[in-house]
Chains A and B, each alone.
Chain A
Amino acid sequence: MIWIGDVLVSQGQGGVYNERMLGGARVWDPHRSKLSALYHVGTGIELTPGMRVLYLGAANGTTVSHVADYVDVVYAVEFAPRPMQDLLEVSRRRRNVIPIMADAARPEQYAMLVETIDLLYQDVAQPEQASIALRNCSFLKTGGILILMLKTRSVDVRKEPAEVFQDTLDALTSAGLIVQECKWLAPYHHDHAAIVCTKPVV
């Protein structure tokens, strides 16, 4: 990851969302992007130029554009038409962003488009976040990484965030994933946790 002092940046064409520029690089704001927040509060995963990424819940393409600056290709899955319009604009200017308008809970809808991936990144506001991640693990190579941004309030508002977090962790480990790192994203994002797992070599 590229840091200028204690500011996380990415190298690429700027002006995507009026982000601040610093020494010709795009500032990656931890308050706006959960992935950037993870790099600030924890270790996260080093994004490398050869990486192929499946990004679930791409939304307006803000974080997607930063990830795309680092890696080979980002397959960006988004369901809603309004943010998709923005994501398309990002894709038209970035050759390595492949926008896919589909439901992340139904990977069979876009299986024909996606290759084997090194990193599965998920940030969806759905109750079934663990099972969505597990279903999409079919694309992940063995030894590949899953970063799950858990929105605990989307799972169940009545439960305590810590309880939801534990349930999700159990679901992931019982499916055979090895948990590497868990971090709450406070103070940047409240009631959001990042879970980093690896798919074991069988």
Chain B
Amino acid sequence: MHSYWFGDVVEGRCILFIGDSNAIIDRVQSITPEMDSFIPLEWEQAVLCGACRDRIDYLGRLQEVCIAAAERSIREQYSRKDAELLQMVRTLDEIDTVINLLSERAAEWYVVRHPAFSRKYRRTPAHVLVKTMREKSKGALGKVAGEIEQLAATRTILAKEVSARANDVMPNTSALIGGLVAARLLSHAGGLLLLSRLPASAIQVLGARTALFSHLKTRSPCPKHGIIFQHRRVHNAPREVRGKVARVLAGKLAIAARIDYFRGVPAPEFLDGAQERIDVTGKRSEP
């Protein structure tokens, strides 16, 4: 017997499949023929079957089923909890880039208007400088500075939302490394499923693409850490154990991501052990 989307062909005879397009989609997705003994369908069989009148009708019906099936898969993929988080964290990182670029440019502009101004020997944080620029500048420059402040406010709100969403979507990974960094890992992997499939060694250098490929192509040293460097456990660790902390942390993150994908709830028994193991590694700095 050979099964096709419109029916089953048994010894030259065809049995029409009865059902609406949803039933046909279920049928197509549930039956996977053996490719070795597979015989591609002949559209004429569909006519014999009574599934359609002619070739145009055949293609029309098939297209209808295929479009409906694709729409359903897209809906399913987008309704996963990580799909929106992915967009949120990418937007956040993009806003950061925009804020930095605009602030730099506005500062350059401001300096032209105030030749005596210099940032040297002043510990003015960027946002304070932007505020000064807004208050002291007339016209478009003041507006630009105002926009940067608005954007910064949006960024703060979005960052909180990303953290909260990450705690919900990936509770274990977030517990180990914080919601924001966890979300960035997710964004670089392309989704929770893809992150959970990555080996620990890949998670360790996720986001260090340039360094990794320059290592693979030439003899430059291999990167010790990518995004996970952003977590205090890695960047606060003493230099000599930083690589080690990154490796242990990545190992635990790989497990955490798998628990997140398959279980979706916090696993305290795993988290306690993992936290302790990472902390111990970070402290073992004295030889």
Seen from chain A, the residues whose Cβ lies within 8 Å of a Cβ on chain B are 73, 81, 84-85, 87-88, 91-92, 95-101, 107-117, 135, 138-139, 157-158
Contacts and interface: CB of A to CB of B under 8 A. Distances in A.
Nearest to B45: A115
Given A135-B35, A157-B213, 19 more contacts: A81-B73, A81-B78, A84-B74, A91-B67, A92-B67, A95-B56, A99-B67, A99-B70, A101-B74, A108-B34, A109-B32, A111-B33, A114-B41, A115-B41, A116-B40, A138-B40, A139-B40, A157-B216, A158-B217
Given A97-B63, A98-B66, A112 B35 contact: no
A45 B28 CA distance: 32
Contacts of A92: 67
A116 B66 CA distance: 17
A139 B40 CA distance: 6
A158 B212 CA distance: 11
Interface in B48-96: 56, 59-60, 62-63, 65-67, 69-71, 73-74, 77-78
Given A115-B40, A115-B42, A98 B34 contact: no
A113 B42 contact: no
A98 B213 CA distance: 38
Contact of A91 (B27, B28, B56, B63): B63
Closest 10 pairs (CB-CB, A-B): A101-B70, A108-B32, A116-B40, A81-B74, A81-B77, A101-B73, A112-B5, A112-B4, A98-B66, A111-B33
Contacts of B28: 110, 112-113
Contacts of A107: 35
B41 A98 contact: no
Given A95-B60, A138-B35, A111 B40 contact: yes
Interface of B: 3-5, 27-29, 31-35, 38, 40-43, 56, 59-60, 62-63, 65-67, 69-71, 73-74, 77-78, 213, 216-217
A81 B38 CA distance: 28
A167 B56 CA distance: 42
Nearest to A82: B74
Contacts of B65: 113
* Max chain A C-beta neighbours (<10 A), residue from B33, B35, B216: B35
A99 B213 CA distance: 35
23 contacts: A73-B59, A81-B73, A84-B73, A91-B63, A92-B67, A95-B59, A95-B60, A99-B67, A101-B69, A108-B32, A108-B34, A108-B38, A111-B35, A111-B38, A112-B3, A112-B27, A112-B28, A112-B41, A115-B41, A115-B42, A115-B43, A138-B35, A138-B40
Contacts of A97: 63
A114 B216 CA distance: 41
Contact of B63 (A95, A109, A114, A158): A95
A73 to B, nearest CB: 6
A98 B66 CA distance: 7
Contacts of B56: 95
A113 B43 contact: no
B251 to A, nearest CB: 25
Contacts of A73: 59
A113 B59 contact: no
A53 to B, nearest CB: 13
A142 B235 CA distance: 61
B5 A113 contact: yes
A98 B217 CA distance: 41
A115 B9 CA distance: 14
B179 to A, nearest CB: 25
Given A113-B28, A157-B216, A96 B5 contact: no
